[in-house]
Amino acid sequence: MIEFNPVSEASAPGKIILFGEHAVVYGRPAIAAPVSQIRAIATVTHSSSNNCYLVAPDLNRHDRLQDLPDDDALARAAWLVLGVAGLTQPPDVTIRVRSQIPIASGMGSGAAIAAAIIRALAQHLNRPDLQTNEQVSALTYEVEKIHHGTPSGIDNTVVAYEQPIWFVRQSPKNLIEPFKVAAPLRFVVADTGVRSSTKVAVGDVRRQYNQQPAKFARIFDECGRIAQVARQAIKAGNVEKVGQLMTDNHAWLQKMTVSSPELDKLVDAALQAGALGAKLSGAGRGGNMLALVADEAMERQVSTALQQAGATNILTTILK
Ligand code: PMV
């Protein structure tokens, strides 16, 4: 007889990719970090209705878990936990999800929502073994496959571990190295307001790679090399170098065709306003970009420039 927790709540952060998006799908190293001030939150409460409901007010959703299709990401997250816990029937609960992370904008919203549901449900079922970072990451990865097709695993890892990570997709086990920064890195994160599907962007890169393997392998190599150098610069506290490498990474992402006029406009505006470096973050074609700034004064200048250049939302996050 399982002893259920009457009310369980869990959350997971948004994320940014500092270096190596797309190339990471092809085994090159990448660096990502959580953005802890924007989160997805899931609560699981007992329901007297003899049913399991999945409710997401922001998405206008209120459904019975059993009525949802197989490819529904929220439902998949719940079924995965129930499956691993050995339950064939869902418990009588309401799973409620809220998220402050913008959807389809390169900030890992899908992974964070899945991770929050997985943690909250595992907590409800009194299964600490299903709440470890490794387990939450592994289950979130299964959900990510619905969004992404061929996810590298970086999003689920960073939202589950909630630490800056050095990540390499490899078998049999991905390389995951949480790290500390030597000097704080202050990022301005700006949204183009353009929503973009990660699956489409990743699929387009795959098509181009298949058509021009040598050209794209070289682009991925360059991104991997930049990530390697960036890791050393982060370790050494060389903030200016980190900025320069971000701008270099953006140029390679442009060659991959995953930037967009809106992203380029924000990147240029940030650099002209004095940012140490700037690049798109995540799948691209829309979504968010990052600018690295040295201090609060530069942050204000860059934020104003980004606003004037059309950013629809701006936030600051400091990695320390
Ligand atoms: O758009 P996002 O935040 O989901 O980032 C995807 C990162 C990619 O490298 C483009 C894909 C992946 O699976 O790593």
Query: 25, 220 in Cβ contact below 8 A?
Result: no
Q: Is residue 155 annotated as part of the catalytic site, yes or no?
A: yes
Domain boundary among 114, 148, 178: 178
Q: Are residues 168 and 195 in the same domain?
A: no
Residues 71-87 have a mean pLDDT of 96
Q: Are residues 191 and 238 in the same domain?
A: yes
Q: Could you tell which of 16, 18, 21 is best to mutate to test the pocket of ligand 1, judged by most ligand atoms within 8 Å of the CB?
A: 21
Give the Cα separation of 314 and 151 in Å (integer): 27
Domain boundary among 138, 161, 178: 178
Q: What is the pLDDT of residues 101-132, one digit of tens each?
A: 988 788 989 999 999 999 999 999 999 999 99
Q: Are residues 283 and 137 in the same domain?
A: no
Q: What is the pLDDT of residues 167-195, one digit of tens each?
A: 999 999 999 999 989 999 999 999 999 99
Closest atom, ligand 1, to C-alpha of 104? 1
Q: Is the pLDDT of residue 1 over 70?
A: no
**Residue 80 is assigned to a structural domain of this protein:** yes
What CATH number corresponds to the domain at position 301?
A: 3.30.70.890
What pTM, to 2 d.p., does this model score?
0.95
Identify the domain containing residue 49 by its residue range: 7-178
Q: Are residues 264 and 168 in the same domain?
A: no
Q: What is the pLDDT of residues 256-314, one digit of tens each?
A: 999 999 999 999 999 999 999 999 999 999 999 999 999 999 999 999 999 999 999 99
Q: Are residues 156 and 88 in the same domain?
A: yes
Q: Is the CB of 151 under 6 A from ligand 1?
A: yes
Q: Could you tell which of 22, 189, 194, 198 is best to mutate to test the pocket of ligand 1, judged by most ligand atoms within 8 Å of the CB?
A: 198
